[in-house]
A and B are shown apart, each in its own frame.
Chain A
Amino acid sequence: MITDLALLRLLQLVSPGLPIGMYSYSQGLERAIDDGWVTNEGDTGRWIGGILERCLSRVDLPIVARLYDAWAADDSDAVERWTRTLIAHRETAELREEDRQTGQALARLSESLDLAGSPAWSRKPEATLATLFALAAVRWGIPKRAAVTGYGWSWLENQVLCAVKLVPLGQVAGQRLLRDLAADLPAWVEESLALTDEQIGGSVFAFALASSRHEMQYSRLFRS
């Protein structure tokens, strides 16, 4: 169970208002739309849902869970190891850069919020969002499953907001997508928590291709 305060902390952590610049990254979605791979509400749901199933729930979510355990056990070697593993799974320069930027931004914010362990990460080039998200979740007493679910939700909401702006879609269509995609999230969280270390990994070919192509997109609004 989650306490009322831990729930509020989680809401703060996953809010689009968290000043870490998440909203400036589209994770290649901008290029997928530009290339005509994603053209409407249905395409958007299938694109985001595919990445959620094949990549998020097999890379990010199980590694957030391990980082959570590592911070909870004060095991800095494990924090470093899983952070490096997560970075190695990022398949383009842009996706790695995004992780570094948002990770360092959350580290600096966490330092200002007096979260122990964060100062050392604010200048580390290998900081990832997941590393610092897991740290905040542990320090704020958010239970692991809720933290992992919140991380997935935060990614999902950001992707849908990007699509609303870029496809573009109406606000109501965006809310419909969030309703439907969120309905699948608990099952992916469940599966991600059951993965062994050896099973971690999930590449989505056109996701990496779109991000590679976004890096050379001439006119763009988003940084990834």
Chain B
Amino acid sequence: MFVDSQGRGTLTGTSPSAVAAEGWNAELGLCFAPGNGKTVIARRRHVGPLVVQRPFYPEGPVCHVYLLHPPGGVVAGDTLGIDLAAANGSAALVTTPAAGKFYRSAGGVARQSVALRVASGASLEWLPQETIFYQGARVRARVAIELEAGARFLGWDVVVLGRPAAGEGFSAGEVGLELRITQAAEPRYLERTLLNPEAYAAPWGLGGHSAFGTLFATPSTAAHLEAVRELIGDQPERGVTRIGDLLICRGRDMRADRLRAFFQQVWARVREDVIGHKACAPRIWAT
């Protein structure tokens, strides 16, 4: 159900058909493509309460998009689907104005699926604010990143368990996270993490840290690995590795904002080489 647009996104209302028997079903599909010297949203598919604002162009050709989920949180039974595709020659940066929230479940499971497809000669940045899983949440979340040879990608995933500011940990609940990066249809990097009270508390899991996250950047060089190692220095709970030309940065923290600030530093350091544009932080990050 792709609908052509001129790349001028407007806030779209909720479609009544989106209310499924067992919960909200929201889907958003965007296809970025080059047009008139800048990247535009060439196609859009949209169901339910997941919307995108009019794109910004704070740095010329790169299309900056804010993804909104107006209900503000997800409950058991809900399904969120996000599908972003960057066509050859396009450059897009997608972020969110607020943290994603998954509430406590009475038994059912909430699902989120994110598909990011980057064509050869395209770049995509997926830089959402953190996702908060409330204590007692039951969620299955999946991120599938499909890269063609020569695709440029920079993305992160910051996860928070419980609400530490409210004194809430994660002594109940279960969150399954799956991440797949494929290149030319071959699996290149696979993660499957089960977060439950044991993984939250154990040293091999989060060791009681409420926030953890991973940043990916490709193509990267040995110089980027060195630069991020220098950035990390003596900081505890931060790590970086490089598999082929895929840079993978990890961290856990008692506070999600500190982890996000660290990832933003890494992003600022490598963005020009990886994406081809100097770092230009979305204004929403400053608020």
Contact = CB atoms under 8 A, between A and B. Distances in A.
A109 to B, nearest CB: 27
Nearest to B205: A205
Nearest to A91: B191
A39 B164 CA distance: 26
Given A206-B204, A206-B252, A201 B192 contact: yes
B113 to A, nearest CB: 15
A203 B204 contact: no
B207 interface: yes
Contacts of B199: 54, 205
Interface residues of A, number: 36
A180 B189 CA distance: 33
Given A47-B204, A51-B204, A209 B252 contact: yes
A204 interface: yes
A89 B190 contact: yes
Nearest to A36: B236
A92 B204 contact: no
Given A93-B241, A201-B178, A209-B250, A50 B204 contact: yes
A54 B194 contact: yes
A207 B207 CA distance: 11
A96 interface: yes
A205 B204 CA distance: 7
Contacts, number: 94
A84 B203 contact: no
Q: Is the interface of B mostly helix, strand, loop or mixed?
A: strand
A191 interface: no
Given A46-B203, A207-B204, A88 B187 contact: yes
Interface in B227-244: 229, 232, 236-243
A26 to B, nearest CB: 14
A212 B186 CA distance: 23
Q: Which of A202, A204, A209 has the most CB of B within 10 A?
A: A209
Contacts of B187: 84-85, 88
A135 to B, nearest CB: 22
Nearest to B250: A209
B202 interface: yes
A40 to B, nearest CB: 12
A141 B276 CA distance: 55
A58 B176 CA distance: 14
Interface string B171-195: 0000000100000001111111110
Given A51-B204, A93-B241, A216-B229, A205 B193 contact: yes
B59 to A, nearest CB: 31
B206 interface: yes
Q: Which of B192, B204, B205, B206 has the most CB of A within 10 A?
A: B204
B232 A85 contact: no
Contact of A88 (B178, B189, B202, B240): B189
B98 interface: no
Contacts of A38: 203
A205 to B, nearest CB: 6
Contacts of B206: 205-206
A215 B206 CA distance: 20
Interface of A: 32, 35, 37-38, 43, 46-47, 50-51, 54, 58, 84-85, 88-89, 91-94, 96, 200-213, 215-216
25 contacts: A46-B202, A47-B204, A50-B203, A50-B204, A50-B205, A54-B194, A54-B199, A58-B192, A85-B190, A88-B187, A89-B190, A91-B189, A92-B248, A93-B242, A200-B192, A201-B178, A201-B190, A203-B191, A205-B250, A208-B239, A209-B251, A213-B238, A216-B232, A216-B239, A216-B240
Given A43-B203, A205-B199, 16 more contacts: A32-B203, A47-B203, A50-B203, A54-B194, A84-B187, A89-B191, A91-B189, A93-B241, A93-B243, A202-B192, A204-B204, A208-B239, A209-B237, A212-B250, A213-B238, A215-B241
